[in-house]
Amino acid sequence: MERLNEILYELGITKVKLAKILGVSRQMIYNYLELDDLNKWPKDKKVLILNLLDIKSPDELNDIKVDTDYIMKVESKINTLFVDNNKLNHIPTNDALFAGIGKKQKEIMTDIIAFMREKFDDNNDMVTYNSFLYLYHFLQTMQVSPELKYMLAYVSKAAGFTKAKEFVFDEDEQFVFESIMFSAMTLYIGGGTSKSKLAESHRRFVKQIEQKREEKMSRTLELNSAKIQALRELGYNEITEKNAAEVFEKMAEIQSRKVAV
């Protein structure tokens, strides 16, 4: 079980967090980890931990390489377990959902929700699910990349919903963006670019995305490490509402030690 403990540590999964994932007490986690073989765990808990680690049997533990992609994959599974359950338990009522917003805003929200509900009739339609998932990511990204709203305007115009010369945002910037989008879409539809040039362009795109993911994961690992160290130094097992401020302050102190000359 030593390898399992190493993997959990490298992933930043504490005993408390693992207990929440498996739905058992922290003491039970200690009991499980004291066993010399994962096959001795209760069958349902063994299946959960194998699924979390993305392996089919305990024999594959030694083959696990905890790199950026693996950490992100496991983190995604954990987020799905925690976030989705929290969302389902805190879905607002209609009154709460529409509280404090104007008539026009209520109308557009109602239209969007009704449209999504219609499209989600088939639970097995993953194309629709992923399309709306990417749309959600798009809307989130607009907070840090406001120019993305010009893309929405372009699509609205191209689909005939909005007049071509209507500019509700910054006219100059929107004009430039729409012109570039039109040129790009013309090339895409007409197939006027060589495959070799497209392949090279996509290679640069992939490289840029991978670099961003590496930077994000590096920051995540750094924060996880600081959090674990802060909890250990303060004698806590997890972050709670009562100790959050103290733990975050300790994390900041730990990180400042690394940059101090």
Listed by start position, the domains of the chain span: 2-88, 93-141, 146-192, 203-259
Gap between the Cα atoms of 225 and 219, Å rounded: 10
Please name the residue that has the structure tokens 């088939």.
Answer: 122
Pull the structure tokens for residue 59. Answer: 């024999």
Q: What are phi and psi of 199, to 5 degrees?
A: -60, -40
What are 183's two structure tokens? Answer: 């040129």
Q: In this predicted model, what pLDDT tens digit does every residue of 18-51 receive, in sequence order?
A: 888 888 888 888 888 888 888 889 888 888 888 8
DSSP-derived letter for residue 38 is: G
Report, as ranges of residue numbers, the positions in the chain whose pLDDT lies below 70.
1, 81-94, 192, 257-261
Helix segments in the chain, DSSP class H:
2-11, 15-22, 26-34, 43-52, 68-89, 94-98, 103-119, 126-141, 148-158, 171-190, 195-234, 244-259
Q: What are phi and psi of 101, to 5 degrees?
A: -115, 155
How many other β-carbons are positioned within 10 Å of the β-carbon of residue 132? Answer: 14
Query: What is the reported pLDDT for 261?
Result: 38
Q: At what angle do helices 43-52 and 68-89 cross, to 10 degrees?
A: 120
